[in-house]
Amino acid sequence: MADFLSAYSIQTWLESCPQGYLMETEYGHKAGEAEPELLLTNEVLREETIRSTVQLVVGERCALAASSGLINAAPDEGSKRFLATQTLDEARHVEVFTHRLYDLGVRKNELETVIKQYANPNLVKFAEILLEKVDRKDFIAGVVGQNIVLEGMAFSVFEMLHALSQQMNPKFAHTLSGTIADERRHVGFGENRIGSLIKEHPEKKAEIEGMQRDMSYFMLATFADAFRNNRAAAEFDQLNVGRARADYQGVDLSTMAPEAMEDVLADTVLKEFKTRLGRIGLEYQTPTRP
């Protein structure tokens, strides 16, 4: 375990993350980059962008609370130190997505009200399930919930948003590139560290699998709300603004209806869960589709 954890040391993190892929960035993107004019001037698009960014802030606040809370529950120093780097990664994500809200015109004194107004209740329930495990200092369930389920979901969502933004919003695409690189590291730690702990505590399997099923349900419900009630696609059509090609999981998202995009995202995340849970010795539980 010591050798595996040395790949997750703070020294390695310093060299690869802040001194590596975050060099020359400002709040996650290149200096001087701005949101596209259309997003700032069209009220429907601006509101939908604020709504989707709020979900990212809510998810990252949950990740920050979970990763910092898990430090005190970690059974070894190496895991504590990895989680220290993850804590700062998550705080950075909170910061960069919060800044995006400011860039979209949210005033600083309105921030919490805007977050409360737009936070998806299903995403809040998703977060509550995880934070309940963290509060109980349940390290194994906490890491599976945080580094496999939450981070696995975030990774796929960020990749989809990145594909959609690459041509149309380079600023946001650059912000997402850094967060994707962070999430990849977090998911890797979860898989590597938890496998051995699950073997030592087989009695915990059923409870953790139940947590995965419940979290997955609320994740799918969040996706359903986000895609089915999203007015952005219709607004783009009405404005007759062509959407740039966006390749994701072998499909071109620019040609798809929101419901079809929801299916692609949900299938991608659930498939990832199945693979990753299998690697650590857990059986994937199929959630009800909302």
Partner 1 sequence: MSGRSTPAPPTDIHDLDPQQFLEEVHSFDFWFEAVEGYLSGLTHGHKPDTPEAVLGDVERDQLITVLCNYCVGETAALEGASGLIAIAPNRLAKVFLSTQVVDEGRHLEVFLHRLRDLGVADPDSEVERRASRSLQLFKRRLLELVAGKDWEAAIFAQNVILESLEFAVFHSHAQTADPITREVLSGVVKDERRHIGFGENELGRRLRVSPHIRSRIGQVKKELDHLVLETLEETMRHLGSPRDEHERLGRAYLESVERLGFP
Considering only the stretches 92-100, 116-124, 143-151, 226-234, report the one whose residues sit in contact with partner 1 under the rule CB under 8 A: 92-100
Backbone angles phi, psi at 248, to 5 degrees: -150, 125
Please identify, using beta-carbon distances, which residue of 27 and 218 lies nearer to partner 1: 27
Nearest to 163 by CA among 181, 176, 150: 176
Q: Which of 38, 40, 44, 84 binds partner 1 (CB under 8 A)?
A: 84
Phi-psi region of 156 (alpha: psi -120 to 50; beta: other; left: phi over 0): alpha
Q: By CB under 8 A, is residue 54 in contact with partner 1?
A: no
CA dihedral 263, 269, 279, 282 (to 10 degrees): -80
Q: Does 3 bind partner 1 (CB under 8 A)?
A: no
213 token code pair: 């099923």
DSSP string, 49-78: HHHHHHHHHHHHHHHHHHHHHHHTT-SSHH
Residue 12 near residue 78, CB atoms below 8 Å: no
Cross-strand pairs, 26: 29
Closer to partner 1 by Cβ: residue 118 or 236:
118
The 106-125 contact track toward partner 1, x by CB under 8 A, reads --x--x--------------
Identity of the residue, 99 or 243, whose beta carbon is nearer to partner 1 in the bound complex:
99
Q: Does residue 129 touch partner 1 according to CB under 8 A?
A: no
Assess 14 for contact with partner 1 (CB under 8 A).
yes
Out of 91, 124, 181, 251, which residue is the one contacting partner 1 (CB under 8 A)? 91
Type of residue found at 25: T
User: Which parts of this chain interact with partner 1 (CB under 8 A)?
Assistant: 9-11, 13-14, 18-19, 22-27, 31, 64-65, 68-69, 71-72, 76-77, 80-81, 83-85, 87-88, 90-92, 94-95, 98, 108, 111
